[in-house]
Structure 1
């Protein structure tokens, strides 16, 4: 991948109070922005129309007539990004929870390792509810099982940079979950495909507009079902995954082995 041409993809669903600040912060990094309105309310749609008109040279607005979920919006945005000639897409949430000061750091990692997926690894302060941390760790453990590795530190953070060729090749051959299960599934399946995961610590706060679209019942059911599907997929790929792990361990030992004096 000789060229590096990134943009931002932001899925939006009824975050009219926070999206303006998020877009402004993204544009401050000279990053073109693709907004995907996932069938938001009229009030949010009006805010998005205003942003698209005000920043018409930097912001592209796409719309879903029916709500498809966060994953569906990301896939729409990344496909448009690739069709427009971009090589990488920085995914960031519309609710303001992510630290936009880290955008350049994420992009620098992606530029240095263009075939890798740059994944945010959240750093929470003491105010985060313990039940949220415990729930995340359940998913972390399942991801470690389903990849037979600890290479993915956090699979639920929506702040990441995708290498578009790898992501879209996956989406063409595999039907991916389009709800809150998307972030987890896409990381595991890209890891299975041999894409390196670069974990980047980043501070994460609560949504600035106080809106969360996580549905405790349905989304937890979808995520639990996903873990089961991925587990059986891991069993089929276990020899390959274990071979990859052993090869890396051998390579690391070889690199650390002292050279004989000349």
Structure 2
């Protein structure tokens, strides 16, 4: 336990036979349950777990999926086990050993103290992220983090794709895990759903860990477009759920007017280019019309974002600082 709280670690594992033993062995003593979800691995992941000296079916629990569900589906299974077994805080750690167990107390503290409901690691603020994280993943992560801010309403979050997170029993009970996105967009999907439920979320600095034998299955060029389209759908879903169905907010009008003006601006810009090519010049009225609609759309959308920021800032305190005086047992 950690400061009177029962802790589980959810470990999604797919083909992690070389790394999963290290995850078990390095789990801190404060962890009550290590829930390993073998997501239909094609290697010896399950065998390595069951043959490990620490495997007992109580502290170290193995759940085997009969059908591969993706990392999001594996995490949902671990969350449901934690919810149904009286866990106070569930931490997610990858099965490839890319998360430093020493960072766990920093993730737990804001939740234990009752300040937030969900914490997530942020590898981008340590000063070592650009050096340690592969460049294409660093820039892809940064791109997705920007759009996750807009889609989720948590404007202080960054490093949206980190899987090192902690969630309390209240959030575990309120989220429908059977409807959670099952692939690599799970952290983004969860942030949006937490925001609709008015859960408090905070980033915590964690160490970026690479080159420990992990093998990434992420195809960046595919993930960017998959998660990008997911974020677009989630953005409109959150606006509908939070600002129309559950509690109406006038920012809806600003977003709607801004998007309609943006669409008209695009049409006018295409006409502007076509006339420029055909005639060698642009009629002043066309240029002024495009400039006017562009300005209107930019201002309307900016006001909508500002309203959204103000509406949610109490749910998303700034980046947490480490408390080195906090005991670890």
TM-score bucket of the superposed structures, by smaller chain:
0.7 to 0.9
1:10, CA displacement in angstroms?
A: 0.6
1:151, CA displacement in angstroms?
A: 2.5
Aligned residues: 247
- 148 and 193 in structure 1: CA distance in 2 versus 1, 3 angstrom threshold: same
In the alignment, is the contact (CA less than 8 A) between 1:16 and 1:47 conserved in 2?
Answer: yes
Q: Which of 161, 167, 177 is the matching residue for 1:162?
A: 167
- 79 and 248 in structure 1: CA distance in 2 versus 1, 3 angstrom threshold: closer
Higher relative contact order (CA 8 A, sep 6+): 1
3-state DSSP class of the match of 2:202?
strand
Q: Is 1:204–2:208 an aligned residue pair?
A: yes
Which position in structure 1 is the counterpart of 2:63?
A: 62
3-state DSSP class of the match of 2:8?
strand
Q: Which of 146, 150, 155 is the matching residue for 1:150?
A: 155
Q: Is 1:181–2:185 an aligned residue pair?
A: yes
- 76 and 148 in structure 1: CA distance in 2 versus 1, 3 angstrom threshold: closer
Q: Which segments of 5 or more consecutive residues in structure 1 lack a partner in the other structure? A: 253-262
1:231, CA displacement in angstroms?
A: 2.2
Q: Which of 234, 245, 249 is the matching residue for 2:310?
A: 245
In the alignment, is the contact (CA less than 8 A) between 1:149 and 1:245 conserved in 2?
Answer: no
Which position in structure 2 is the counterpart of 1:258?
A: none
In the alignment, is the contact (CA less than 8 A) between 2:73 and 2:183 conserved in 1?
Answer: yes
| Superposition RMSD in Å | 2.6
- 47 and 227 in structure 1: CA distance in 2 versus 1, 3 angstrom threshold: same
Q: Which of 229, 235, 255 is the matching residue for 2:239?
A: 235
Large movers: runs of 4+ above 6 Å = none
Residues 1-262 of structure 1 correspond to what in structure 2 (within 5 A)? 4-51=5-52, 54-113=55-114, 116-122=117-123, 123=126, 124-171=129-176, 175-206=179-210, 208-236=212-240, 237=242, 239=249, 242=307, 245-246=310-311
Query: Given the two structures, how large is their TM-score scaled by the length of structure 2?
Result: 0.68
In the alignment, is the contact (CA less than 8 A) between 1:119 and 1:199 conserved in 2?
Answer: yes
